[in-house]
Amino acid sequence: MAGIELKSNVPAGELKQKWSDFKGTMNLVAPNNKRRIEVIVVGTGLAGASAAATLGELGYQVKAFTFHDSPRRAHSIAAQGGINAAKNYQNDGDSIYRLFYDTIKGGDYRSREANVYRLAEVSADIIDQCVAQGVPFAREYGGLLANRSFGGVQVSRTFYARGQTGQQLLIGAYQALSRQISTGQVSMYNRHEMLDLVKIDGKARGIITRNLLTGKLEKHAAHCVVLATGGYGNVFYLSTNAMGSNVSAAWRGVRRGALMANPCFTQIHPTCIPVSGEYQSKLTLMSESLRNDGRVWVPKSKEDAIAIREGRKKGNDIAEEDRDYYLERRYPAFGNLVPRDVASRAAKVACDAGNGVAPTGLAVFLDFASAIERYGKAAAHSKNINNPSKAEITKLGKAVVEGKYGNLFEMYEKITGENPYENPMKIYPAVHYTMGGLWVDYNLQTNVPGLFALGEANFSDHGANRLGASALMQGLADGYFVIPYTIGQFLSKEIRTPKISADAPEFAAAEKDVQDRLNQLMSIKGNQSVESFHRRLGKIMWEYCGMSRNAEGLKKGRQMIRELREEFYKDVFIPGDANEFNPELEKATKVADFLELGEVMMCDALDRNESCGGHFREEYKSEEGEAQRNDKDFTYVSAWEWNETQPVLHKEELAFKNVELKTRSYK
Amino acid sequence: MKLTLKIWRQKGADKKGQLESYNVEASEHMSFLEMMDVLNEELISKKEEPVAFEHDCREGICGTCNLVIDGRPHGPQQGTTTCQLHMRHFKDGDTITVEPWRAKAFPVIKDLVVDRSSFDRIIQAGGYVSVNTGQAPDGNAIPIEKDEALSAFDAAACIGCGACVAACPNGSAMLFTSAKVAHLGKLPQGQVEHAARSKSMVDQMDAEGFGNCSNTGACEVECPKEISINNIAMLNRSYLSSIFGSNK
Amino acid sequence: MSLTGLFLISFLFVHLIGNLQLLANDGGESFNTYAYFMTQNPLIKTISYGLYFFIVLHAIQGLMIAAKNRSAKGYKYSKKTKENASWSSKNMAMLGILILAFICIHMGDFWFKMKFGSLPMKTYAGFENEVTDLYGRVMVAFQEWYIVLIYLIGLLALYFHLAHGFQSAFHTLGLNHKKYTPIIKGLGTVFSLVVSVGFAIIPIYIYINSL
């Protein structure tokens, strides 16, 4: 495949006109033809559910697949903070351009201009659509929609539903999907996992799934295949992703010729609950919105830090002048609100210097004491309490903080057993989101014709770093407002294609491949659990391809993964049978794919000799330790083709015509 | 801490099941599911079949995890899903009984895994606002009183885990169904279809084989999102009006 | 269920007020004439047949729902909990059956004997008709400790049945209000106490007096 040419298919014309011109001139599929055309949508999170519902509404015959027991379980549900939209309801100077600019800049200029502009453009429609579906967004007393500002930007454009925005948006999309299921436009396949992509004459025409209840392999055919299967953060084993989140559907696409773009761009979220022990199965995110009011600090002296680690002192015992509010110190302009990548790295620097606070030494404080005091005073003032006592102020302040973050504080207390109203929270960065994903063009089509990728599963909009509250925006933009149009570019040429038959020999061949793969895994009958391999892979990834990377470590990490992969295929043990409900086998197929993806991530990180966004190479930093981008040599998307011996790199050069490439500075 | 677990083991839907005892060494910082992971790792190391149980997000929001712990859906802690329940709420030497959700409409698939697809079908019967993508007016076109929006949110917080059904001695899904009816019915956007939605969802609930509500209130106590049975009264109201108020 | 229940609740109230006349120290005059009125007045007679019908209806409905609910639950938990619901709310059917059995005994003892048995007749000055001496029968019956015990058990069952049933009926009818629901709940508790204690006083009083 040496000659792959990555055509972005961005329409000509002014940036601001591209999308509306495209919509006005794109090829349409007539209603009578839509009825005959089948579309497979894999994944039912925000992007998948909204796409399946909307395509169903348009009249396509949709088959939707999820490995969950219900579409409503997808991990989009766990997003807490909110969803951005350029509504400018707050009259604070927001606009489509500003949202576009913030996203491009926040992504450290490694995303495609036209895609990002379109995202900003449709963002406002998403809010309207969700409100109409009954999403209970937060409101002001006047009954209008409320907004808050969110990490890394200077306007209030984030819409939210308490700390459960993802849940409410997903339920909205799930309800829209349920409506289409009830009308018969969408056939829903729960508990079905995609294990292969089927291509006929080079076009994606179907998938092979495993019915997770019976273990039976099934062949499903359609005119095209849409993957909305989320990100691959679980390659790190410990992440804020759900236990079931995986790369397999996307990776099967890669194994059939699609390209993996920017795989090393992973987002490490700064505010997560720290790891407490070896048994830990996942990490829990505390919404970024906490940084609006919480102040991040570590003790100035190592002695104090050690005392806290050993339990001899508490955070509150450290005097104000002995605390290092390092974000406020290093980044006075943005303070605690610097973007995620910056905040995460700063926490790592503080802990690496020996000032971390949890027993493991890997945690920093997030302190609400001054917010409680500030809100308490304001509340006392508005209640006309003159000369309030400190106790009164604290009480009033806690009530305000509870109103804003009550559910998050409660969650923190449930998990850690500590009361965050009394003592500062302990937080540490954790893998959260993957900006990388399947390479797609402007139409969200991969380099395999008829194979589309939406949401976190594609690479398109966030560059090297995603801003807060933008994942929900992108998932829903892709599903509700982009793919329903752009899929027509492909399908309008397929109206003469008869119904694709799953009896075609290509399906049988793919099914046999899957069967062989499962048989191989089951027949190893080694001595180590799937989980133990996954945990080891995660440690390698975190150590060598985590928050900071260097060439030597990446080479070493890659070698270690290759060895681990070999060991996996020799010594993994999977209990039970392939022809039954078998969660261990499910895990094994996922870990097998992670073991390949991990290697590509190392290759990508090694190729990118610069520091940008979530990708920080220790060799490329300023004297003050800030990331140093190299626009001259690395303004491209790296798209990787899988190859067992050496993955092959393809490049899409990025052109910036509407923004000036600047050094991201939050100082 | 050393624990004895009595866990329901059942090979498949049509097989007989029984409680089996296991010993496990846990730490108080673990979540309940992490303790189950430890048990499973041990079973796998002995080449025995691990205990099948469902879980996904492990942060209390996806609604996948579903264990009845000592007779209580999601265990003893109020307002908490199984995945958020931590072992510090148990004592060294405790014997803990772990069973699957019990209801005819939630048949057991394997061990602690049950089939909750009946919930999806209740939503498909009308748990939505009929609006196509692109039809929506501006988000601020209809102001909604803050308290109303909050109260709709309280109902919308349902995670569809089914603890209400598991707790109900009648195996009724009224809390789940009413939460959706109340969520949409309290908002102007959902008002148009409110009465019809109540009827069709309740009819589907009955068709799935869920029991009747006798107002024991167990659902409300066990709901990890603390959804109120006031929603059930609201559903009763709109159901009655859909029958008596309908001109059809 | 709730409608028949509420109807039966209103009956209980009337029945209690009438029966408290048993405690009047007038040799049974007020009670016997009241009983006469209740059995002869055509309007009351019609209502009483309605009442029997509703008792049967409530019982049949209740048993059918209980059977359906039992099968909807299917397999029961091996570990039981008391934490999530009141005992009475979980045992309405069992309590209902107890009450039904009690009603049968109760009717057999008094109503049947009055209608078809051979209770002695009595006349009272100022009341033109001859009336059955139901009062006398009650006085005789409640001198037996086991009859008193049966009544007390029946009334205890009634208390628990009402303690849940009263407020539950309102909930089923969709009456739920931030301000009024707590009042209804309080009223339910008071009502169940008053009714069961009120009825219980009669046999206890008569039994003690007979000692």
pLDDT, residue A421, reads: 95
State the span(s) of chain B assigned CATH 3.10.20.30: 2-99
CB contact under 8 A, C174 and B237: yes
Q: pLDDT tens for residues A271-291?
A: 999 998 889 999 999 888 899
pLDDT of residue A646: 96
Provide the pLDDT confidence category of residue A1 given band limits of 50, 70 and 90.
low
**Stated pTM of the model:** 0.95
Query: Nearest CA to CA, how far is A271 from chain B (Å)?
Result: 15
Contacts of C96 in chain B (CB under 8 A): none
Would you call A178 and B128 a contact, using CB atoms and an 8 Å cutoff? yes
Q: Considering only CB atoms, which chain A residues are within 8 Å of B110?
A: 581
User: Most A CBs within 10 Å: which of B45, B53, B57, as the mutation test of the A interface?
Assistant: B57
| Distances B206 to A183, B159, B222, C66, C69 between C-alpha atoms, Å | 20, 21, 22, 15, 11
pLDDT digits 0-9 by tens, B87-135: 999 999 999 999 999 999 999 999 999 999 999 999 999 999 999 999 9
Tell me: pLDDT of A233 over 60: yes
pLDDT score for A322: 96
**pLDDT attached to residue C128:** 78
**How many angstroms separate the CA atoms of C169 and B190, rounded?**
28
Name the 3-class secondary structure at A234. Answer: helix
Residue C29 is predicted with a pLDDT of 87
End-to-end CA, chain C: 42
Look up the ipTM and state it. Answer: 0.98
For residue C174, list chain B residues with Cβ-Cβ distance below 8 A: 233-240
Whether C68 and B103 lie within 8 Å, measured CB to CB: no
C81 contact residues in B (CB cutoff 8 A): 70-72
For chain C, where are the E strands, in sequence order? 121-124, 127-132
Confidence band of C24 (pLDDT split at 50, 70, 90): confident
Q: Which residues contact A237 (CB under 8 A, 6 or more apart)?
A: A534, A535, A537, A538, A539, A541, A542
pLDDT at A605 over 90: yes
First vs last C-alpha separation in chain A: 45
Is residue A87 a contact partner of residue A157, using CB atoms and an 8 Å limit? yes
The minimum CA-CA distance between B47 and chain A, rounded to whole Å, is 7
Confidence of residue A392 (pLDDT cuts 50, 70, 90): very high
In chain A, residues with a C-beta closer than 8 Å to the C-beta of B61 are 77-78, 164, 166-167
Answer yes or no: are the C-beta atoms of B186 and B155 closer than 8 Å.
yes
Angle at A436 between CA A435 and CA A437, to 5 degrees: 120
| Chain B residue closest in CA terms to A278 | B30
**Which position has the higher pLDDT, A590 or A80?**
A590
Domains present along chain A, CATH in parentheses: 17-77+164-267+432-491 (3.50.50.60), 269-431 (3.90.700.10), 505-632 (1.20.58.100)
Interface contact A57-B133, CB threshold 8 A: yes
What is the DSSP code (8-state) at residue A353? I
> In whole angstroms, what is the distance from residue A119 CA to residue A469 CA?
13
pLDDT for position C178: 83
Name the burial class of residue A555, with classes exposed (0-12), middle (13-18) and buried (19+) by CB atoms within 10 angstroms of its CB: middle
Q: What is the rounded distance in angstroms from the CA atom of residue A404 to the CA atom of residue A290?
A: 9
Q: What is the Cα–Cα distance from C172 to C89, expressed in whole angstroms?
A: 14
| Separation between Cα atoms, residue A432 and residue A66, nearest integer Å | 21
Any CB–CB contact under 8 A between A360 and chain B?
Answer: no
Does residue B248 have a pLDDT over 90? Answer: no
Contact B215 C68 (CB under 8 A): no
A406 interfaces chain B, CB cutoff of 8 Å: no
Question: How far is Cα C145 from Cα C147, in angstroms, rounded to an integer?
Answer: 5
Are B76 and C83 within 8 A, CB to CB?
yes
Q: In what order do the strands lie in the sheet with A323-324?
A: A266-272, A425-434, A364-367, A295-299, A323-324
Name the fold adopted by B2-99: Ubiquitin-like (UB roll) (3.10.20)
Element (H, E) at A327: helix A326-330
In chain B, what percentage of residues exceed pLDDT 70? 99
Q: Quick one: average pLDDT of A550-577?
A: 98
CB-based contact (8 Å) between C174 and chain B? yes
CB contact under 8 A, C77 and B99: yes
Length of chain B: 248
- Asked whether the beta carbons of residue B240 and residue C174 sit closer than 8 angstroms, the reply is yes
Chain C residues in contact with B76 by the CB 8 A cut-off are 83
Percent of chain C with pLDDT over 70: 100
DSSP, collapsed to helix, strand or coil, labels residue B201 as helix
Which residues from chain B sit within 8 angstroms of residue A580, using beta carbons? 12
Say which amino acid occupies B67: L
Q: What are phi and psi of A346, to 5 degrees?
A: -65, -35
pLDDT class of A666 with cuts at 50, 70, 90: confident
Query: C172–B236: do the CB atoms touch at under 8 Å?
Result: yes
Task: State residue C26's pLDDT score.
Answer: 83
CB contact at 8 A, A475 and A460? no
Contacts of B127 in chain A (CB under 8 A): 175, 178
Q: Which residues belong to CATH 1.10.1060.10 in chain B?
A: 117-244
A–B contact (≥3 CB pairs within 8 Å)? yes
pLDDT attached to residue A151: 67
- Asked whether the predicted pLDDT for residue C117 surpasses 80, the reply is no
**Burial grade of A422 (CB within 10 A; 0-12, 13-18, 19 or more):** exposed
CB-based contacts of A178-183 (< 8 A; 24+ apart in sequence) = A178/A71, A178/B120, A178/B123, A178/B124, A178/B127, A178/B128, A179/A53, A179/B124, A179/B128, A179/B130, A180/A52, A180/A53, A180/A56, A180/A57, A180/A62, A181/B120, A181/B124, A182/B124, A182/B125, A182/B126, A183/A56
Distance from CA of B13 to the nearest CA of C (A): 13
pLDDT of residue B170: 96
Is C93's pLDDT higher than 90? yes
C77 touches chain B (CB under 8 A): yes
CA-CA distance, A48 to A478, in Å (whole number)? 9
Contact (Cβ atoms closer than 8 angstroms) between residue B81 and residue B161: yes
pLDDT at A168: 98
Residue C113 has pLDDT above 90, yes or no: no
The more confident residue out of B183 and A333 is B183
A179 is catalytic: no
Q: Which residues are within 8 A (CB) of A552 and not within 5 positions of it... i.e. 6 or more apart? A: none
Q: Which of A54, A276, A281 to mutate to test the interface with B (most CBs of B within 10 A)?
A: A281
Looking at residue C37, what is its pLDDT?
87
Question: Does A246 contact B at CB distance below 8 Å?
Answer: no
The catalytically annotated residue of A252, A340, A565, A629 is A340
Query: Mean pLDDT for chain B?
Result: 96
Query: Per-residue pLDDT averaged across A104-111, rounded?
Result: 94
From the CB of residue A560, how many other CB atoms can be counted at a distance below 10 Å?
Answer: 20
Are B62 and A73 a contacting pair at CB < 8 A? yes
Q: How confident is the model at residue A446 (pLDDT cuts 50, 70, 90)?
A: very high
**What is chain A's mean pLDDT, rounded?**
95
Instruction: Tell me how far apart the alpha carbons of residues A100 and A85 are, in angstroms, rounded to a whole number.
Output: 10
From the candidates B151, B168, B216, which should be mutated to test the interface with C, based on the most C CB atoms within 10 A? B216
Q: State yes or no: pLDDT of C28 exceeds 90.
A: no
Residue B125, pLDDT score: 98
Contact between A286 and A271 (Cβ < 8 Å): yes
> What is the mean predicted confidence (pLDDT) over B31-35?
97
Q: Which two tokens stand for residue A425?
A: 């929270």
Tokens for A260, please give them: 């993996």
d(CA C39, CA A343) in angstroms, rounded, equals 86
Q: Does domain B117-244 have CATH number 3.40.640.10?
A: no
